[in-house]
Amino acid sequence: MHAINAWRGGGAPCAKDLAALRLALARIEARRDGGSQMASREHFSLGAPEVDAVLGGGLNRACLHEVLAPRGADWSAAAGFGLALALRAASGRPVLWARQDFLESETGRLNGVGLVEFGVDPAALSLVRGRDAEAVLRAGVDAARCKSLGVALIEIFGAPRALDLTATLRLARSAESSGVTLFLLRICVGEMTRAPPSAAVSRWRARAQNSQALLANAPGAPRFSVTLLRHRGGAADRSWRLEWQRDRGFFCETAETRHAALSGSFPALPADGALALPSGQRRAG
């Protein structure tokens, strides 16, 4: 209730009560069980209450979601965000990552220890290396039909002809009948605002984001600047800065602060409704 009052106190119009209520509930949930129990059969939450509220509780399972990296340099952000989403969606079930060979020279090959450090259980992850986009898509369709798989990550470079609307429709339909959640990582789709058409339920754009410095100015936990470009039946074009909390297995939203905290402890989830940035501060990056 505290949170709702704070919202009202902030001068929110009454028409937004429903959204406010949702937000409040999401936040209470998040505080109660660390956001990890919010996974239902249909939804998986990101763990950041504000984002989950906008998404109406979370993203749908058994659907196709897209994460775009506008430039090759954004690969690490898109892959990190996509992988973290995949971990949320999988909640312990097996994950399959299908990659194009070309990406190995662009971004390096996946590193088992690095995956563990990111929060992945390598025993539950299978990697498929496809010679080209067609091979990766074929592997993706096969994976999308496998009921016992939790998540399939399909990583494609650029906009190959094989990845058209029909291909994404096929993926989406397979996912719907099998229950596998699919993430399509698209690298280098250009800075275009209108990304290629697809049957994805949600489309995200991820960019790198400065982390919160630790002691002695060391880089902190991974942060991403993400934009929800499209969300079927929901709000779109919203941006957040999210931090991936590996140890807890969820995202949390970050309020940009100049005064770096001393350690990567639980970042402030403001209970007093201080959602907006402190005035007079500019977001960097």
Residues that bind other proteins (CB under 8 A): 73, 75-77, 79-81, 83-84, 94, 96, 107-118, 121-123, 125-131, 135, 138-139, 142-143, 146-149, 207-211, 213-214, 216-225, 244, 246-247, 263-265, 285
Nearer to other proteins, 59 or 78 (CB): 78
CB-CB contact of 180 with 161 (8 Å): no
Compute the least distance from the CB of residue 216 to other proteins, in Å. Answer: 7
Q: Which residues, other chains included, contact 135 with Cβ-Cβ below 8 Å and sequence gap of 6+? A: 100
Give least dist CB 206 to other proteins, A.
Answer: 10
Give whichever of 94 and 273 is closer to other proteins, judged by the CB atom. Answer: 94
Closest contact distance (angstroms) between CB of 136 and other proteins is: 10
Token pair, residue 36, equals: 């990890």
From CA 235, how far away is CA 228, in angstroms rounded?
8
Closer CB to other proteins, residue 25 or residue 132? 132
| Inter-axis angle of helices 133-144 and 165-178, nearest 10 | 20
C-alpha span between 3 and 32 (Å, rounded): 14
What is d(CA 33, CA 47) in angstroms, rounded to the nearest whole number?
Answer: 10
In the complex, minimum distance from the CB of residue 207 to other proteins, in angstroms, rounded to a whole number: 8
Q: Which is nearer to other proteins, 115 or 255 (CB)?
A: 115
